[in-house]
Amino acid sequence: MTTRGNTNLPGPNGGIDETHDPNLRSWVESANDPNTDFPIQNLPFCAFTSDDLEGTWSFGLRIGESILDLEEVHRRGLTKALKLWNGSHFAHAMLNDVGLSKEIRWLAQSLLGHSGKLASSARNAQAGLLINASQTQLMLPMDRVPNYTDFYASIHHATNVGSMFRPDNALLPNYKHIPIGYHGRASSIVPSGTSFHRPVGQTSPPDSDPSAGPGFGPCKLMDYELEMGCVIGRGNDLGSPISIADAESHIFGLCIVNDWSARDLQKWEYVPLGPFLAKNFATTISPYIVTMEALAPFRIPAYERPATDPRPLPYLTSDANTARGGFDITLEVHLQSAEMAKRSMAPVRLSKGNFRHMYWTFAQMVAHHTVNGCNLQPGDLLASGTISGPTRDSRGSMIELTWDGDPFANPPKLVPGTQRTPIELPTGEKRTFLADGDTVIMKAYCEREGFRRIGFGECRGTVLPARV
């Protein structure tokens, strides 16, 4: 591999170039497994530590069952081909400079490819360059998350949840005009594999006795939310909006997000200002950032709105966003109870959906987020909101998955939110919401004929008993 193609998005080839060639192979044999999430065509970024690093951490690229240590690549002088690297820590340098991430992709494929001078050098000196991923501790894939914003971009999720409580008015008047979002808590974002304690807080008085006053104690309606996250690379100055035409040049890549939700706490607190204690106790993200370059073959048109829906205002509209604003990403949620783990039973899949059904695109979220002059910063996380599709088995949260209503049926089936069918696990256990000891595993991957399958790894977390 000796040439660098056009990886700008969008472009004449939609950002697809020789780095996406499905015939590319690596001397790292595990990367050639057709079932791996991490072939040489992917190369997602991650942050990790290991015993060899003696308490420090490094930035790397996942390849098969290994991680390429980018700091070590630089120490050995193998980054001389990188014209854009300015000597700062890789985490800062790449988030700030999308061009550098493209250069790193080219260099890494040259180092890890099946043939070539750089590949021969790397293969002969692989000790220390390549680390077995199982011998590392994966961290947040950026050194820190300065800010976190959670959106509400799935019209199927918004309609489902709205129909539970407002059957005659599921969507509020603003939903189809602006990407709805709120500022979340960045400090409680945790990497995949982190366990957390069930939150404690106030809950609403019982419907049968509103005068009884609120209750207090552990959350009883613990839920997950399947989301994708957009990691900001280059930021913008305060007071300088990002146009929708330029929005994707500020996006470094995507990851999986589980925005855990305490539904009973949320019901009591969310009016009038929105989620607070129901959300800020933990948000789990996957340990890999899949770059926009790697995702180029899996770009699709934005969600096609019905002709009767209002057209977005001009600042939320561009031909490029209409043509390629979406992502064809398959998403799955799996659950393993403590009893299942005790019996060595594999997790069971609860749902399977696709990111293509999102009503608002990430480019629109970035443009709307900054239209008032808000300044995004490198490492900021923008989450999509719960990803649900048009069918029951594609719903991205338990509050939807166990609900017996279906506003998308013909005719719609709308029932009160209390009417639910529990999920039955292989052990005979039943769930309408999560129990202590439950582990939720989210997965995401992209497939398209003529290209290698790529994946995001796992986003995993376990609910521990409340501290009371």
Instruction: Give the span between the Cα atoms of 224 and 317, in whole angstroms.
Output: 32
Token couple for 199: 């939150």
Give the range with max mean pLDDT: 11-15, 49-53, 411-415.
Answer: 411-415
Beta bridge partners of 180: none
Helix, strand, coil shares of the chain as percentages rounded to 5? Answer: 25, 25, 50
- Residues 414-445: pLDDT tens digits? 888 889 999 999 999 999 999 999 999 999 99
The one-letter code for the residue type at 278 is A
Beta bridge partners of 60: 46, 69
Give the range with max mean pLDDT: 49-58, 82-91, 131-140.
Answer: 131-140
Give the pLDDT confidence score for residue 148 in this predicted structure: 98
Please tell me the least confidently modeled range out of 52-56, 71-75, 121-125.
52-56
Question: What value does the mean pLDDT of the chain take?
Answer: 91
Residue 6 pLDDT > 80: no
CB atoms within 10 A of CB 132: 11
Q: Is the dihedral of CA 109, 71, 32, 142 positive or negative?
A: negative
Instruction: Give the span between the Cα atoms of 94 and 99, in whole angstroms.
Output: 8
Residue 83 pLDDT > 60: no
Q: Could you tell me what percent of the chain has a pLDDT over 70? A: 92
| Domain boundaries for CATH 2.30.30.230 within the chain | 18-138
Which residue's structure tokens are 């939110």?
417
Residue 94 pLDDT > 80: no
CB atoms within 10 A of CB 433: 22
Token couple for 305: 């709105």
Instruction: Give the span between the Cα atoms of 86 and 79, in whole angstroms.
Output: 11
Instruction: Give the span between the Cα atoms of 243 and 248, in whole angstroms.
Output: 10
Give the pLDDT confidence score for residue 429 in this predicted structure: 98
Strands (E), 245-391: 251-258, 261-262, 283-285, 290-291, 299-300, 326-327, 330-336, 348-354, 381-383
Architecture, CATH, for domain 148-464: Alpha-Beta Complex (3.90)
Where residue 103 falls among pLDDT bands split at 50, 70, 90? confident
- Contacting residues for 463 by C-beta, under 8 A, at least 6 apart: 195, 196, 198, 222, 434, 435, 436, 437, 438, 439, 440
Is 197 among the residues known to form the active site? no
Residue 451 burial (C-beta neighbours within 10 Å; 0-12, 13-18, 19+): middle
The CATH class given to the 18-138 domain equals mainly beta
- Residues 255-266: pLDDT tens digits? 999 999 999 999
If one compares 86 and 102, the residue with the highest pLDDT of the two is 102
Q: Assign 360 to helix, strand or coil.
A: coil
Where residue 391 falls among pLDDT bands split at 50, 70, 90? very high
Judge whether 430 and 438 are in contact, CB under 8 Å: no
Predicted model pTM? 0.94
- Contacting residues for 206 by C-beta, under 8 A, at least 6 apart: 212
- Residues 308-349: pLDDT tens digits? 999 999 999 999 999 999 999 999 999 999 999 999 999 999
Give the pLDDT confidence score for residue 91 in this predicted structure: 56
Q: Assign 63 to helix, strand or coil.
A: strand
Give the pLDDT confidence score for residue 11 in this predicted structure: 43
Categorise residue 151: left if φ over 0, alpha if ψ from -120 to 50, beta otherwise. beta
Judge whether 99 and 143 are in contact, CB under 8 Å: no
Give the pLDDT confidence score for residue 84 in this predicted structure: 47
| Domain boundaries for CATH 3.90.850.10 within the chain | 148-464
* Average pLDDT estimate for 4-11: 40
Give the pLDDT confidence score for residue 82 in this predicted structure: 55
Strands (E), 346-447: 348-354, 381-383, 423-424, 430-431, 439-446
Of the candidates 157, 250, 357, 369, the residue annotated as catalytic is 157
Where residue 3 falls among pLDDT bands split at 50, 70, 90? very low
Token couple for 163: 């129909």
Question: Read out DSSP for 141-183?
Answer: SSS----EEEE---HHHHHHHHHHH-TT--S-TTTTTS--EEE
Residue 78 pLDDT > 80: no
- Residues 156-215: pLDDT tens digits? 999 999 999 888 889 999 999 999 999 999 999 999 999 999 999 999 998 888 888 999
* Average pLDDT estimate for 18-34: 96
Residue 97 pLDDT > 70: no
Where residue 368 falls among pLDDT bands split at 50, 70, 90? very high
Give the pLDDT confidence score for residue 251 in this predicted structure: 95
Nearest to 362 by CA among 240, 257, 278, 448: 257
Give the pLDDT confidence score for residue 217 in this predicted structure: 97
For 260, 261, 263, the CA distances from 266, given in Å and listed in that order, are 11, 8, 5
At residue 105, what are phi and psi to the nearest 5 degrees?
-60, -45
Nearest to 139 by CA among 254, 287, 281, 252: 287
Give the pLDDT confidence score for residue 247 in this predicted structure: 97
Judge whether 467 and 200 are in contact, CB under 8 Å: yes
Which residue's structure tokens are 């994946």?
455
